[in-house]
Structure 1
Amino acid sequence: MKVLKRFPFSLKVEKAFDDNGNLKQPKELSINKVGHALHEIDPVFKEFSCSEKVSSLLFSLGYKKPVIIQSMYIFKQPGIGGEVTPHQDNSFLYTEPKTCTGLWLALEDATVVNGCLWAIPESQKNGLVRRFIRGDDGVYFDRPSPSYDQKDFVPIEVKAGSLVVIHGDLIHQSFENQSSNSRHAYSLHAVDTDGCKWAEDNWIRRKVEPKPLYASGQT
């Protein structure tokens, strides 16, 4: 599977500045997200992301040759941790056939007040709605977002240390952090490289082949 690397590391600061360009709060509370290849460039994140526990989980889900294609540390800071609109992970990390699975590790308690995940139960059964692609003029969605009824979403409140496994077609979102507490999480996305084709117009592109994970006993 040919995958091109363009952005091994990026830093996102969201809603952190006032009208005069000054930080609203200390720097350590102003970072919203760090990604998208922490598992490749930092040994601590690599150790967890490529661990036997993670690989065993993916093999138990039917993966034949899984790779971690993306990783992000999400801070969801008090006051500036913003909304993430309804989306499907397969929109961003598309393979044929579709194989993306999200692994969302809560590093702090995630509640309705501080911006936990919300999802539409069984929405993955309805297939992929749209794709986010990279063209000659930049990145864009190939079609408008459908309208969603917020009554269809249910909150996924979890304790620190909980791992949420997200089907690539599951419609999910999160709201702004309205509390005085952060909601740190580490998010991984895996795809299968066995008999699956990575879409050349995916927004994320890599210069080197990602290394596959191995089942226990494999080398």
Structure 2
Amino acid sequence: MFTLASEGYAVVPAFAAPEETQALMDEFARLVTVFDPASHPTTRFSTTDHSHGSEDYFLGSGDKIRYFFEEGAEIGPEADPATVRASINKIGHALHDLNPVFTRFSFSQAVREVLGHTQLDDPVLVQSMYIVKPPRIGGVVAPHQDASFLIDEPQTVTGLWFALEDATVDNGCLWVLPGSHRDPLHARFARKANNPQATAMDGDFPPFDEETYTPLEVQAGSLVLLHGSVLHASKANTSSRSRHAYTLHFKSRASTWSPDNWLQSPDRPFHGWESMPHSL
């Protein structure tokens, strides 16, 4: 874990037990089963043009459980529900608060202990995402820095990426640029000052270069810690296997959350372990 400070990322193999990863995947399957496509907009999630960023469904998801779809999914008005469900890109962004299965994992003692090896001081959980990377249509995630999308001052945002299935080059594993966390933020994604119901990207991230990036092929149950400024990406999943992952983003309690952040949670303030039942 000491490479988090020197390289901007760290890999912890076998962090989660098989029964823990399976419990999250089973709960995802249940959520997808009860999901009614007819009652939700089919918002496509794009890391290239960020066209989802000004949709009310996305902007209001900080304290809710909402469903987002692959950019290349063919889910027109006549698509059958099974096709729509198979095209889910991710579910976010408050699973950790609103679903007991994800709450137990997110606020486990093991997660609390691993955060003790990071820069975070009295960590609070900002967002959670279940990422599917479905077979054949799982899209490219362009190089980015998490702290460009989750802005606090001083900058403390740290990501925890849990592999629920084996992640390989073939099915779209993470790629990181070692040491890039020492660079300033290349871009800033935030609400517009003159229209807070719209967002804009100010700046550009450098293009992906396979020669300088490192692929993180990890087994199910592994944890990848990501400094908020480290550049990372993933290629499209053109394989026949999905690449499920669960991600959490924490910040230090004392850091100031920018009012310009796309993610706001007015009804559910960010919190850590202080409000969790001891039974967790």
**Cα distance between partner residues in 2 of 1:22 and 1:6:** 26
Distance 1:55 1:22, change over 3 A: same
**Cα distance between partner residues in 2 of 1:83 and 1:42:** 28
Q: Does 1:204 align with 2:263?
A: yes
For residues 96-115 of structure 1, the aligned pairs below 5 Å read 96-115=153-172
Q: What is the Cα deviation at residue 55 of structure 1?
A: 1.3
For residues 171-210 of structure 1, the aligned pairs below 5 Å read 171-194=231-254, 196-207=255-266, 208-210=268-270
**Cα distance between partner residues in 2 of 1:23 and 1:112:** 31
The 8 Å contact of residues 143 and 206 in structure 2, kept in 1 or not, is answered as no
What code does the residue aligned with 1:122 have? G
Matched residue of 1:68: which SS?
A: strand
Q: What is the Cα deviation at residue 19 of structure 1?
A: 7.2
**Cα distance between partner residues in 2 of 1:62 and 1:145:** 24
Q: Size of the alignment, in residue pairs?
A: 210
Distance 1:113 1:202, change over 3 A: same
More contact order relative to length (CA 8 Å, sep ≥ 6): 1
Distance 1:23 1:127, change over 3 A: farther
**Cα distance between partner residues in 2 of 1:96 and 1:108:** 34
Q: What is the Cα deviation at residue 18 of structure 1?
A: 6.1
Q: Could you tell me which residue of structure 1 aligns to residue 67 of structure 2?
A: 11
Q: What is the Cα deviation at residue 102 of structure 1?
A: 0.6
The 8 Å contact of residues 16 and 23 in structure 1, kept in 2 or not, is answered as no
Q: Could you tell me which residue of structure 2 aligns to residue 122 of structure 1?
A: 179
Q: Percent identity at matched positions?
A: 44
Q: What is the Cα deviation at residue 213 of structure 1?
A: 2.7
Matched residue of 1:81: which SS?
A: coil
The 8 Å contact of residues 17 and 24 in structure 1, kept in 2 or not, is answered as no
**Cα distance between partner residues in 1 of 2:89 and 2:253:** 31
Of 83, 95, 103 in structure 1, the residue corresponding to residue 140 of structure 2 is: 83
Q: TM-score, normalised by structure 2?
A: 0.70
What code does the residue aligned with 1:6 have? G
Of 89, 114, 117 in structure 2, the residue corresponding to residue 57 of structure 1 is: 114
Q: TM-score, normalised by structure 1?
A: 0.88
**Cα distance between partner residues in 2 of 1:50 and 1:74:** 19
Matched residue of 2:191: which SS?
A: strand
* Gap regions ≥5 residues in structure 1: none
**Cα distance between partner residues in 2 of 1:39 and 1:20:** 31
Of 57, 66, 69 in structure 1, the residue corresponding to residue 126 of structure 2 is: 69
Q: What is the Cα deviation at residue 94 of structure 1?
A: 1.1
Task: Give RMSD over aligned pairs.
Answer: 2.1
Distance 1:154 1:22, change over 3 A: same
Matched residue of 2:181: which SS?
A: helix
Per-residue CA shift, 1:98-136, capped at 9, x if unaligned? 001110000000000000000111110112111110121
Of 214, 228, 239 in structure 2, the residue corresponding to residue 154 of structure 1 is: 214
Per-residue CA shift, 1:186-212, capped at 9, x if unaligned? 011111112x11111011111131222
**Cα distance between partner residues in 2 of 1:20 and 1:124:** 43
Q: What is the Cα deviation at residue 153 of structure 1?
A: 1.0
**Cα distance between partner residues in 2 of 1:43 and 1:147:** 39
